[in-house]
């Protein structure tokens, strides 16, 4: 066991047993085709271990956000086809969120899931921060364990939280300070510095007294950012900004609007959408000197080629860093894959929200449920 969480070996002899495996197959699909099967491939070590030891495996997962009823747009058929290629003989149930009982943690839905099953394995790290039926329900009645993916994620991320090699730098991006305030406070307790980019940096810049034009800002978080800046913590903010002028449209260069670099002050009507080249270079220097790096959140709207340079530069710096490098899932994972650098980092988490919550709280509902399974409790 790791931190009181049972592993596959703690299930005992699985030969001839029917095992329900909760996976995170929430993969991107475009025009009916999977564009990135990382999460499916990440489940293979667990599935293969169970099959090699004689178990019959049934997998289950959510896909997208259907409204508690069947929706063809979120069918598991593309995932089922890919899984059949990678792991023949493994069954995949239909989208868990086609039933409102999944997100509502309905005991009746849990009973349907576990009917006919002997054992349960949670390998869905990316969903383990949610108290949903398929995450917290089965361990109440079935002997249970963490799968290899969940086990590895916990080992890596709690290692960052509890015993990182120093200096430890965390890079945070994304749009909202409010979404990451808890993890910011948690990281400030354990890391040696924070790099902040993305839309959230403008709330910090406004707290410093800068003019941010039409950039994204959470006015109700300005005072909070000011207190963080005054706390004595090492917080690196962009020294320059790449911005889009009035009339421009994100993702549509043909719509017009000038793109220009500024310092930390933007004119009225201009929207900051990426860190500038000076900030990218400065951030790269900090990353290069670190022995542990955690990155969660892009530096700008990297999906638009006009505003990808900052995120690309940070991705390159993380890839070249000689320290232990972790990508905290979500858009950062998508970015590093887009730039062809996924093989150059030590660990890419499959769960953005889950990785941040584990670092912030030190635990997840899915892990706690496993600790209280019949083969562990008492």
- Catalytic residue, chosen from 18, 41, 176, 291, is 176
pLDDT of residue 311: 97
Contact 122, 372 (CB under 8 A): no
- Is residue 176 part of the annotated active site? The answer reads yes
Strands 271-275 and 241-244, how do they pair? antiparallel
Write the pLDDT tens digit of every residue in 292-314.
Answer: 999 999 999 999 999 999 999 99
Distance between CA atoms of residues 264 and 245, nearest Å: 15
Dist. CA 367–CA 225, nearest whole Å: 32
Query: Of the listed 22, 39, 97, 206, which one is catalytic?
Result: 39
Task: Report DSSP state, residue 348.
Answer: E
Give the pairing of strands 18-22 and 119-122. parallel
> What are the contacts of 231-236 at 24+ separation with CB within 8 A?
231/188, 233/188, 233/193, 233/194, 234/192, 234/193, 234/194, 235/193, 235/194, 235/196, 235/204, 236/193, 236/194, 236/195, 236/196, 236/282, 236/283, 236/286
Is 161 in the active site? no
3-state helix, strand, coil in the chain (%, to 5): 45, 15, 40
CB-based contacts of 372, cutoff 8 Å, min separation 6: 139, 140
Q: Which residues of the chain have a pLDDT value below 70?
A: 377-378
- The answer to whether 330 and 296 are in contact (CB under 8 A) is yes
* CA 288/CA 171 separation, integer angstroms: 13
The per-residue pLDDT for 82 is 97
Q: Are 231 and 184 in contact (CB under 8 A)?
A: no
Q: What domains can be seen in the chain, in order of their start residue? A: 8-152+363-371 (3.40.50.1260), 166-322 (3.40.50.1260)
- The pLDDT of residue 179: 84
| Identified catalytic residue from 68, 159, 278, 353 | 353
Active-site hit among 330, 351, 352, 366 = 330
Q: Rounded distance, CA 25 to CA 118, Å?
A: 22
Q: What is the pLDDT of residue 342?
A: 92
Residue pLDDT, tens place only, 144-157: 999 999 999 999 99
The DSSP H or E segment spanning 283 is: helix 277-288
pLDDT of residue 364: 97
Provide the whole-model pTM.
0.90
Active site residue 272: no
The verdict on whether omega for the bond into residue 128 sits within 30 degrees of 0, i.e. cis, is: no
pLDDT the model gives residue 127:
96
Would you call 323 a catalytic residue per the annotation?
A: no
Pairing of β 168-172 and β 144-146: unpaired
Which residue carries 């910011």 as its tokens? 184
């Amino acid at each position: 066991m790791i931190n009181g969480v049972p592993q596959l070996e703690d299930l005992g002899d699985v030969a001839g047993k029917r095992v329900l495996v909760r996976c995170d197959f929430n993969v991107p699909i475009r025009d009916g085709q999977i564009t990135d099967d990382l999460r499916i491939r990440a489940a293979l070590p667990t599935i293969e271990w169970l099959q090699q030891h004689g178990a019959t495996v049934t997998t289950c997962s959510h896909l997208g956000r259907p409204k508690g009823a069947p929706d063809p747009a979120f069918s598991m058929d593309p995932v089922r086809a890919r899984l059949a290629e990678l792991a023949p003989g493994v069954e995949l149930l239909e989208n868990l969120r086609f039933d409102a009982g999944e997100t509502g943690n309905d005991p009746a839905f849990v009973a349907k899931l576990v009917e006919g099953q002997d054992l349960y394995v949670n390998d869905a790290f990316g969903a383990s921060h949610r108290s949903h039926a398929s995450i917290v329900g089965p361990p109440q009645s079935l002997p249970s364990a963490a799968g290899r993916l969940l086990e590895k994620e916990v080992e890596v991320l709690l290692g960052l939280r509890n015993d990182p090699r120093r200096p430890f730098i965390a890079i945070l991006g994304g749009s909202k300070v409010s979404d990451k305030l808890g993890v910011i406070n948690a990281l400030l307790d354990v890391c040696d510095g924070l790099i902040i980019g993305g839309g959230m940096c403008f709330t910090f810049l406004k707290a410093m007294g800068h003019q941010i034009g039409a950039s994204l800002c959470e006015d109700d978080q300005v005072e909070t950012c000011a207190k963080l800046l005054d706390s004595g913590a090492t917080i690196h903010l962009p020294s320059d900004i790449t911005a889009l002028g009035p009339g421009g449209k994100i993702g549509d260069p043909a719509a017009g609007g000038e793109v220009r670099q500024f310092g930390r002050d933007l004119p009225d009507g201009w929207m900051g959408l990426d860190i500038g080249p000076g900030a990218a270079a400065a951030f790269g220097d900090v990353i290069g000197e670190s022995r542990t790096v955690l990155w969660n959140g892009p530096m700008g709207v990297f999906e638009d080629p006009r505003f990808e340079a900052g995120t690309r530069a940070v991705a390159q710096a993380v890839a070249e860093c000689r320290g232990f490098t972790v990508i905290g899932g979500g858009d950062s994972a998508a970015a590093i894959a887009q730039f062809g650098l996924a093989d150059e980092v030590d660990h890419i988490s499959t769960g953005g929200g889950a990785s941040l919550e584990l670092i912030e709280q030190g635990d997840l509902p899915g892990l706690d449920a496993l600790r209280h399974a019949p083969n562990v409790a008492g």
